[in-house]
Chains A and B, each alone.
Chain A
């Protein structure tokens, strides 16, 4: 079934986006991404280790920009200025590639988004020609505001980053999705394949995760499980669920019973 995800003018057959953090090594990172089927892969931008060996391995040698859409994030930024600066460095690093994941965080304990700074940074980045996929809370009004600013995807949290608590407020996610005209991607909080399936059954366009795969006992196997859950949830959404009823309704006909 052809049911592509469109983001910023590009089509993707996978609706699972995954991060590259917390893996044991780059081999495991590459194998997990391969098993997940993801085509969009997030990376962080950090200082190089000065005085390093010339042959020290580099993430982008394992996860190459010719094979994957690299989505640099602004993780670790707690104000708009740092986030915008990081995006500009990322654009230079990736030869002008302007798709970014904006996240401006509020505090270390919750990593909840700082919405005032997120809005400010989003405006500045869109004006500067960036295609912004934005991490936000599950507030439908904020999501609408980010969309109207020109963000190419809005990415509400299911629950706190790295918590694995799943989608704590599916009703809010539903409200966000109902009114949106850009892709809505649940970003953060997913812990299990069933969490991913729920996001997709709600009608979301995709799910972005890192810890749920990287912190599984067997990350590569979990990557494969998540791929299937996202596909199942999406097909379930498209198929349309049966109506719920209070009382039973037999599946076998009442006629022709032996008596």
Chain B
């Protein structure tokens, strides 16, 4: 399926948020995920299914004041 992840088009081979996180080499990192503007808690990454056309945001903490 094709997703929009952080503004870029990504083709996902798997089905869930956890699959996407793994495919992007982000597994095990401290991050937060939003799908279509709703937050998906970490505890639901493995069970939250994605659908073609979903808009995903994945964020992390960086330096800031």
User: A45 near B61 (CB under 8 angstroms)?
Assistant: yes
Asked if residues B61 and A70 are in contact (CB atoms below 8 Å), the reply is: yes
Complex contacts, B25 vs chain A, CB 8 Å: 51-54
B: contact size bracket: 20 to 34
Residues of chain A lying within 8 A (CB to CB) of residue B5: 50
Docked-complex contact A50 and B65, CB < 8 angstroms: no
Alpha-carbon gap, A95 to B41, bound state (A):
9
B residues with a Cβ closer than 8 A to A are 5-8, 10, 24-27, 29-34, 37, 39, 41-42, 57-65
Contact B30 A93 (CB under 8 A): yes
Give chain A nearest CB distance to B27 CB in angstroms: 8
Chain A interface size range = 35 or more
* Of the residues B7, B57, B61, contact of A43 by C-beta under 8 Å: B61
Which of chain A's residues have a CB closer than 8 A to the CB of B57?
A: 47, 89
Cβ contact of B59, chosen from A20, A22, A45, cutoff 8 A: A45
Closest residue of chain A to B34, judged by CB? A89
The listed residue (B6, B29, B41, B62) touching A92 by CB distance below 8 A is B41
A85 to chain B, nearest CB (A): 8
Distance, CA A51 to CA B11, complexed state (A) = 12
Which A residues between 13 and 59 are near B, CB-CB below 8 angstroms?
Answer: 19-23, 29, 42-48, 50-54, 58-59
In this assembly, does A90 line the interface, its C-beta being within 8 Å of a C-beta of chain B?
yes
For B64, the chain A residues whose CB sits under 8 A away are 19-21, 42-44, 73, 75, 210
Write 19 A-B pairs (CB below 8 A) sorted by A numbering. A19-B64, A20-B63, A21-B63, A22-B65, A23-B63, A29-B63, A43-B61, A48-B58, A50-B6, A54-B25, A58-B61, A59-B63, A60-B60, A73-B64, A75-B65, A161-B65, A162-B65, A208-B65, A210-B64
Evaluate contact between A92 and B32: CB separation under 8 angstroms: yes
Return the contact of A50 from the options B24, B32, B37, B42 (Cβ within 8 A).
Answer: B24
Residues of B within 8 A of A208 (CB): 65
Q: Which residues of B contact A50 (CB under 8 A)?
A: 5-6, 8, 10, 24, 58
A88 within 8 A of B: yes
In the bound complex, CA of A121 to CA of B26 (Å): 31
CB distance from A67 to the nearest CB of B (A): 14
Docked CA distance A211–B32 (Å) = 27
A58-B30 CB under 8 A given contacts A47-B7, A48-B58, A51-B24: yes
Q: Chain B residue with minimal CB distance to A73?
A: B64
Q: Which residue of A lies closest to B60 (CB)?
A: A48
The docked-state distance in angstroms from the alpha carbon of A89 to that of B61 is 10
Contacting residues, chain A, for B42 (C-beta < 8 A):
92, 95
16 more CB-based (< 8 A) A-B contacts, given A52-B24, A95-B42? A20-B63, A20-B65, A22-B63, A42-B65, A44-B62, A46-B60, A47-B6, A47-B7, A48-B29, A48-B59, A51-B24, A53-B25, A54-B25, A58-B60, A75-B65, A89-B59
